[in-house]
Every structure is written in structure tokens, then in C-alpha cells.
Amino acid sequence: MLSPGVLLGNRYRLDERIASGGMGDVWRGTDQVLGRTVAVKSLLPALLDEPGFAERFRGEARTMATINHPGVVDVYDFGNDQQIAFLVMEYVEGDALSATLNRVGRLTPARTMALMAQAADALHAAHEKGIVHRDVKPGNLLVRPNGTLVLTDFGIARSDLVGQLTAAGSVLGTASYISPEQATGGVATPASDVYALGVVAYQCLAGRRPFEGDNPLEIAMRHVREAPRPLPADIPPQVRAVVERALAKDPAARWPSAAALAGVARQLKLALSQQARAAGQASPVSAAPSSPAAPAAPAARAQVRPPTAVARPPAAAPQQSRPPVAPRATAAPQRPTAVAPAAPPRPPAAQAGYPRGAAPVPPPAAARPMAYAPQPAPRRSRPGMVFVAILLAVLVLICSGVISYSLRKGTQSGALAPQTVTSGALRHDGRDDPAEWSYRRQVRPGLGSGETTTSEGRQTR
């Protein structure tokens, strides 16, 4: 009898029993060599008494270990200790699909197709290795917290004793997902796993199994003879067709492979997700107006959708509503007798354009003039710019006049200045002066005429 704390193979310590099945119990254990958490499945001692069971179990365990797929649980080790055969597998954090169904009852079609696509991919990876699960059911489908699915607990022991076990819930659960060919004694094939996965999909969509009975034999015979009950009316026709084909009595009429089923389920999941997104985008628009009139939510949605689709045109509504007010204002003589009715016309105009509230409407109308207020500013600055330009032109003219005047004055003063030329020493008779007395001549321009006056003289020492 196994209990927490038992050490198997001098390596794996059993910590907690997490599940029980027709072939044995599943424990959460610890690999003391690698220091990691593992799942240890202990087989019932009665199975070891069958001739050739241990060899066949070990061979198929080795084959399972060759499957490298994220949707298939990894097999780490196999051993036999104290007349107890055990299988060490990957420990998956998550809940079994059976626990989820017991908690919520049904799943949405999109969620169901997503899980079926993952499970079918995992089955296809096993089928390519020549392994048939033979025990596909919600209890063997573990869902991680991130939504990914892992296929566990392969029925690798092809033993007649497994069908004779009457443990509570073990055979009953297996009979509820058994294929017609298995129920009649035929050999399980990949098509049998496709049928069992169809039963799982049916249970996810309907919240119940397609066949119920008082005992496993009655349930198995119903899989052979009867047609499943119709799915609920809210299931989309495409999803209904996928499940019905997987539940065909004839294996040849089912999906040709698990990969084909996975591809179709994945396409349907994408299509349903797009429809849900489209509905999600429309729901906030219809949900907002339902708050003021909660009792008449359907009617409120139908009335509010047209204004939301034409959200911009109502901005012009206040402008159209103002002209009708002017004629009433012209009727000034009636103000003493009907002063109160003059005010109410404006609220109905606001309610016609904005049924969800007229208070927020005036601010946009008042904000528009403010947006055009800065535009006149450039016009006012143009005269100032012209004045500055004229002032600069006047300054340039003044500066040019001053400069030209100063140039003229300098030219005249230079022209009137006498020019003195000092020549060499000459005598009065024009010959050379041996005494080398200097001789000076001055030329002065005349005033008001082009004549010049010349004066000559000798410079004495």
C-alpha cells in the first residue's frame, strides 16, 4: 500500500495522490536526483500478474518517450520496485477538463474548438508513432493556466484485465467515450480516438454526454445502436457538423485523421473569434444607452443606434434649430401673454439630436468661435508691418541724403583749396640760380568761374 513519503526506485518520493484510474493511481512526487516535481503513476499489482504485461508496458513506454510534442505529456522513466510498476511523467500544472466541466457546465463553441484542435494535434503526433490512446476523455485532458492543453494517461497497457475492473467511475467513464468498434470487440485505431474526441466535444458544448445508462454495458451498446441526442439550438451549424462527423458510427465516415479534425476545428475557432470581436465592438455602443432605461434595454438599443451612427451631423442641429426661434422672437407682442412657452422650444431641439443628454452639447458650439478667434490677429499686424517698412524707407532716404551731402561738401572744399607747387631753384631771368633759392607757385581757382589765379614768388632765407 503506497502512502506519502514512500520512495520508489530509491529516487522518486511520493508526496500527494492527485488522481486514481482503472490502471492505478497518480501521485505528485519529487525526483530527488534532479530536484524537480514529477508525476508518478503506479500500476495495480494485479496487472503485473498477466503474462507479458511488464514487457509490453515497458516497450510502449519507450515508444511514448519518443513523442516530442508540446501537447503530449513527457515520459521520463519506468521502473519496478517492491512488486509495484510505476511510470514517471511530466508534472503538468493545471486542471483536468472534467473538473472545469463540473464547475461551469458548458463551454463556448470557440473555446471548445480551440481545445479540440490542440487535443487532435497531440493525438496526431501519437498516431504518427503508431500509438493509439484508447482512453480519450476529459479526465485525461489537462488544461494549463495559460489555456494550452496536454494529453496525458495513454492507455498503453492492452490488457484484458483493464476491461474487467469495476472501480467506481473508472469503467463507467471509459464506456461513455468508447467507440462503436471497441464496444463490439474490435481493435482500437486512430479513428477510435477521433470518435472519443468527438464525444468530449459534444460534452463541452451540451454540458452532458451523448449517451447515458445505468451500467457500462448499456452505455457501450447505445454507442453502437443509437444516434446521439441533438446538440442545443444555440450551437452554430458549422460546429454541429464537425462534431456529428466525428461521432459517425462508421470509422470511414469520420474525419480521415486527427490532423484533419485539428485543421477544421482551428479554422472554426478563428471564425468564431472574429464574430465575437465584431459583437464585442458593437456591444459597448448598445450597452451605454441601456443604463438610463434599464427596464426597456432592448427598445433603448434599437432607438439609440441610429444617433450613434450619425454622431457628427447632429452638430449642425443647433444651427438649424435657431432659425425657428427667430420667428417667435418677432412675435414680441405675445411675450406678455406667453412668456413661459418661449423657453421650452430649445430643450426639445437638443433632445432630438442628443437623446442621451443635452448638457454636453453647448460646449462644442461655444468652442468653435474660440477656434477662429486667433485668425484676425494676422490682419491687425499688417498695418504695423507697413508702418515699419515706411519708417525704414524714410531712414534710408535720410541717411543717403546725409551721405551725399557730406560727399559734395568734401569735394567742394578740396577744389577751393589752393595748390602750391614748389619747384627747383630758378633765377628771375629763367636761368639756373647758383644760390639755389627755392621758387614757389600757387594756383587758386576762381569763385563762380572756371578761371584760376596763379601767383609766383621766391622763398628767401
Q: What domains are defined for the chain?
A: 7-90 (3.30.200.20), 95-278 (1.10.510.10)
Q: Are 24 and 80 in contact (CB under 8 A)?
A: no
Can you give the pLDDT at residue 270?
A: 94
Here the cell at position 327 is 420667428
Integer Rg of the chain from CA:
53
Separation between Cα atoms, residue 403 and residue 406, nearest integer Å:
5
Burial 428-455 (b: 16+ CB within 10 A, else e): eeeeebeeeeebeeeeeeeeeeeeeeee
* Confidence at residue 365, expressed as pLDDT on a 0 to 100 scale: 47
Name, in order, each residue with C-beta under 8 angstroms of 396's C-beta and a sequence gap of 6 or more. none
DSSP string, 380-403: HHHHHHHHHHHHHHHHHHHHHHHH
What pLDDT score does 61 carry?
80
- Residue tagged 512488486 (cell numbers): 83
64 Cβ neighbours under 8 A, 6+ residues apart: 72, 75, 126, 129, 131, 154, 156
Phi and psi, residue 120, nearest 5°: -65, -35
pLDDT at 167: 39
Catalytic residues: 135
Report the DSSP beta bridge partners of residue 453: 444
Residue closest to 349 by CA, chosen among 377, 316, 398: 316
Amino acid at 400: S
Give the per-residue pLDDT at 452.
56
Rounded CA-CA distance 243/205 in Å is 10
Q: Is 168 left (phi over 0), alpha (psi -120 to 50) or beta?
A: beta
d(CA 108, CA 205): 7
pLDDT in single tens digits along all 461 residues of the chain: 688 888 988 899 999 998 877 677 889 999 999 999 999 988 877 777 777 777 777 777 887 888 889 999 998 988 888 778 888 999 998 889 999 999 999 999 999 999 999 999 999 999 998 888 888 999 889 999 998 999 987 755 444 444 444 333 333 347 899 999 999 988 889 999 999 999 999 999 999 999 998 888 999 999 999 999 999 999 999 999 999 999 999 999 999 999 999 999 999 999 998 888 888 765 544 333 333 333 334 433 434 344 444 444 444 444 444 444 444 444 444 444 444 444 444 544 444 443 444 444 444 444 444 444 445 444 556 778 888 889 889 989 998 888 888 888 776 655 545 555 444 444 555 555 555 555 555 555 554 455 555 555 555 54
Look at residues 138, 125, 239 and name the one whose alpha carbon lies nearest to residue 196: 138
Contacts of 108 (CB under 8 A, 6+ apart): 272
What is the DSSP code string of 390-452?
HHHHHHHHHHHHHHHHHHHHHHHHHHHS-EEEEE--B-TTSSB-TT---EEEEEEEPTTSS-E
CA distance 96 to 151: 10
Predicted local confidence at residue 414, as pLDDT: 54
What is the per-residue pLDDT for 302? 39
